[in-house]
Amino acid sequence: MNSMSIRQVLGTACTILLANCIVVTAFSQEKKPLVADSLKSKVNSEIKRELAEAKGKLQLPTTDTLLPLKALKGKKGELIGELNSLLSEPKAIQQQLLSKMALFDDKKIVKPGRVNASVEYTYLQDTSGMELGSLNSLGSVYSYDFSTGITLFQLPVNFSFRGMNGVYTSDYTSFNKLFKFNFDHQKYIQTIQSKVADKLDPDVLTAFTMNRINAIKSNYEKALRSEISELQNEYAQKYKSFVALPEGVTDLSKNDRSVLRSKLFAEAKANSAAMADSAMAGNEAHEKRVELLEKIYQKIISDKDKFENNKLVKQLKSNLPFTRDSYKSFLKQPGNLDKIVDEHMELSTIQRLFMNMTKVDLGQNAVKDGDFSLQNVINSGVNTEFKNKKVSGGFIYGRNNNINNWLQAGLTSGVTNEYSSMTGFKLGTGSGSASQQFIAVNFFDFKDFPQLGAGDNPLQSAYMAVPQRRDATISFHSGFEVAPKHKIVLDVSKSFGSYSNNMSPDSQAYKTNAYNNLLGGDGKSNYAAMVDYKGEILNSDVTVFIKKVGLGYNNPGNVLLRSGETKVGFGVVRKVVKQMTVKYNIDFSKRDFDPLKRYTNRSINNKLQLNYRINRNNRVGLTWQHTSYDSRLLAAGESKGGNTRIQADGAYSVRVAGRKVTNNVTISHQQMNIPMLLDENYKSRSVLLMHTSSIALNRNPLSITFLLNRSDNKDYLFNTSLFTAEANYSYQVAKTIRLGNSIGYYDNVGWNKQAGIKQQASATLKEWLNIDVDLTYKKAVDITRPELANQLFITAGMHLNF
């Protein structure tokens, strides 16, 4: 039954995908991009079309495209010769274009890249156990990071291995290591772009089009010349004198009409000056000569217009994909590079395929894929994505690798058990589409493993029993621009899932199980949807969103989604004057926790930020944030609460004895009032004041910081009132060594008054070797809590690059 239901699920998904695909293809066909169309096919089709056109025009001499050819007085043989010459040249270029160049000359299979390695060591003396609590057996942590970029068959891949000794001293460390193997698509495309730019002269790409235009132009010019010579002959016969024309007047690509005119008539004037004595003002030959030149001028202009307005020429010009200058940015547009590589470059099948593999991740990789997809998840397995002009797709499979031992050690996860493995498919529009759409189906499997229990190690993160179960989500995403600067994103998702072994045919659950109807189902409770608008209205950046997550919606790939919540948000950012920015956000959330809506929570969150920037060194900011709740969390009654934070911060600089002193100030006030279980409210209030001044002495920075915090909390040590004064100076002692010294005084109310030092040293021992050491020591001068009297913190790191 279970497998059948999955088949149903897949079936439905496929139907939707197919429908989407058809839409996608239809869409992509409709929106054929103009640039970078296949040169080869264009060559052929254009030639064919032109031939047909030319022949058609021979039969219908009234059409104007090849009007100048008509002027050749139907000398058919000559015309065919013309056409042949028109074709023969492009053929040569076509040949040139069709012979492909090898993109990669280097035949090495593996090429090693740079290696980065670093080791870090942290030591913390927490004698009291106050800080680390249940983790206090942990005194020191070492971590390492090794990464390298290698080239395999010219494909750049990054390989990295990161890890640490972890929470456990010896036995169980597997979750603290990350091994990654990633194909670097961006780098690959950049390499190809620069190789193409180096190897393929942009003129070759434009040559064909340019030659066509020139061929047409020369036809016009030929016709023009023959017409002109007819006029010249006519004149010569009548007046027995030949009117010579200056060079280049029949060049139709010359633009400046006034130059043309003056050139032509200079001839006339020169001649008339030479015959000044013999020819009088009333000389007929001279007048006719000027008339003739005027005629010729008009002829040239009209032919020039005809040439420029020729439909074919216009079309060819608009199809010129780029100029020499815009070549590189032309290559950067998606699709163009693919086209050019396909036509002019030689790549192996795999090399070509990887141009469209936008993602190939193996090992433990974080996945972040949108609101109703996977988020804050580390997938241990494979994650691939493919995208070309028409379609994109993705596949992901892996085990869950999310357990954060730092946060979960010694605790049982009661939030929700996590899935054991996951399989996902994605299909959507390609890069050629104006809107971005995809549909994604993810399956999550839950299985029990003995090691998910607490075991013997008290520090191990534990999970509750995990009865076998399969959950799935199907999500549709669509992002499009309704108008320039107005973008809408729509997400809809449905979840379904049930325990695998509750399917005995007599059970009620069998009859109503969630798999049975994927798109129908009881109510809308297992749906989630979101509409998001981003745009510019009245010179302000505006965002609006509405999000609704059904009470029964469950997405194991994004545990932070809150079921039963309806949320509406609005945000605006506006530059009031050149230097002042105002940001305002408000959202309202209403959450029903149970089907009868007896338990609810409403909250309104406001945030206002003002920023006034005078210049780089002087600015003022003001932030106000307020959240209020109104909840029914007990059957008994309503409770209210909220929190408020006001902060003013700024930077200013002053000159002291010719030196610039940069200052930063922050004043903030925070107040919290949270409903508690026992008809009480948890209240806290704190005020913080901080001032830092920095100055450069002999190019070395010196900074002095004061921090004052007044808090009404007296129990938790890291939240009591405190006063801190610290001075910090760092300087270069040798070419390779830099030191940082700091001294400070720390008055922590309720525990100790301490004096402290910090010593930092960083050294570049070799070009490839770097070492940093930080040591912080605090000694109590007035002891209230002896266990926190003296504190030592050491970190040391070594970084290698070669």
Partner 1 sequence: MKLIYLIITGLFFVCPGTYAQFVFFFQPEIYGRTVDGLGSFQVQNLTGAALRGQVVITVQETVSKTPVVTITTPVTNIQPGTVSFPRNVFSGSLFKFSSNAYANITNQTKKIPPGQYAFCYQFINADKGSDDYENCFDAEIQPLVPLALIYPADGDKICQKRPVLSWQPPIPFSSSMRFRLLLTEKREGEGVENLLVNAPLLLLDNITTTSINYPSGHPDLKEGKTYVWQVIAYQSNVVMSRSEIWEFTVQCTEPGKQMPTDSYRELKLLVNGNYYIANRALKFSFRNNYSIKRLSYAIYDIGKGMKKLKDCPEVLLTQGLNKVDIDLTEMELEPGKQYLLKVHPFNEPNIEVRFIYQDKDIEP
Here the tokens at position 594 are 């149970």
Can you tell me which of 758, 762, 768, 772 binds partner 1, judged by CB under 8 A? 758
Residues 749 and 715: their CA atoms lie apart, in Å, by 10
Can you tell me which of 65, 420, 628, 631 binds partner 1, judged by CB under 8 A? 631
* Nearer of residues 442 and 709 to partner 1, judged by Cβ: 709
Residues 419 and 281: their CA atoms lie apart, in Å, by 104
Residues 715-754 that bind partner 1 (CB under 8 A): 715-716, 718-719, 722, 724, 726, 744, 746, 748, 754
Cβ at position 770, least distance to partner 1 in Å? 15
DSSP assignment, residue 134?
G
Number of residues that this document lists for the chain: 802
Residues 243-282 that bind partner 1 (CB under 8 A): none
Q: Per rule CB under 8 A, is residue 464 in the interface with partner 1?
A: yes
| Contact (CB, 8 A) for 670 and 686 | yes
Here the tokens at position 194 are 């620069």
Quick one: which segment of 6-14, 95-103, 426-434, 467-475 binds partner 1 (CB under 8 A)? 467-475
* Nearer of residues 378 and 439 to partner 1, judged by Cβ: 378
Residues 444-463 that bind partner 1 (CB under 8 A): 448, 450, 452-453
Cβ at position 793, least distance to partner 1 in Å? 6
- Which phi and psi (to 5°) does residue 130 adopt? -70, -40
Residues 506-525 that bind partner 1 (CB under 8 A): 507-509, 511-514, 522-523, 525
Radius of gyration of the chain, Cα coordinates, nearest whole angstrom: 39
- 383 membership: H or E segment, kind and range: strand 377-387
Residues 277-306 that bind partner 1 (CB under 8 A): none
Q: Per rule CB under 8 A, is residue 784 in the interface with partner 1?
A: no
Residues 163-182 that bind partner 1 (CB under 8 A): 163-164, 175-178
CA proximity to 377, closest of 527, 179, 559: 559
Q: Per rule CB under 8 A, is residue 41 in the interface with partner 1?
A: no
DSSP assignment, residue 305?
H
Cβ at position 238, least distance to partner 1 in Å? 57
Angle at which helices 76-98 and 39-59 cross, to 10°: 170
Number of residues near partner 1 (by CB under 8 A): 148
Q: Per rule CB under 8 A, is residue 67 in the interface with partner 1?
A: no
- 646 membership: H or E segment, kind and range: strand 638-656
Residues 83 and 71: their CA atoms lie apart, in Å, by 15
Residues 666 and 461: their CA atoms lie apart, in Å, by 39
Cβ at position 740, least distance to partner 1 in Å? 10
Quick one: which segment of 67-75, 216-224, 280-288, 590-598 binds partner 1 (CB under 8 A)? 590-598
Q: Per rule CB under 8 A, is residue 420 in the interface with partner 1?
A: no
Residues 394-413 that bind partner 1 (CB under 8 A): 402, 404, 406-408, 410-413
Residues 673-692 that bind partner 1 (CB under 8 A): 674-679, 682, 684, 686, 688, 690, 692
Residue type, 670: Q
Q: Per rule CB under 8 A, is residue 194 in the interface with partner 1?
A: no
Residue type, 691: H
Residues 660 and 653: their CA atoms lie apart, in Å, by 7
Residues 37 and 27: their CA atoms lie apart, in Å, by 17
Residue bearing tokens 């809809």: 492
The site string for partner 1 over 470-509 (x = CB under 8 A, - otherwise) reads -------------------------xxxxx-xx-x--xxx
Residues 643-662 that bind partner 1 (CB under 8 A): 643, 645, 649, 651, 655, 658, 660, 662
DSSP 244-276: ---TTTT-TT---HHHHHHHHHHHHHHHHHHTT
Residues 163 and 171: their CA atoms lie apart, in Å, by 15
* Nearer of residues 209 and 513 to partner 1, judged by Cβ: 513
Cβ at position 114, least distance to partner 1 in Å? 14
Cβ at position 281, least distance to partner 1 in Å? 51
Please report, for residues 315, 326, 343, 391, 430, the alpha-carbon distance to residue 333 in angstroms, rounded to integers and kept in the order given.
Answer: 22, 11, 16, 16, 13
* Nearer of residues 490 and 503 to partner 1, judged by Cβ: 503
Cα torsion 310, 314, 320, 325 to 10°: value is 110
Can you tell me which of 72, 634, 661, 783 binds partner 1, judged by CB under 8 A? 634
Quick one: which segment of 125-133, 286-294, 337-345, 763-771 binds partner 1 (CB under 8 A)? 125-133
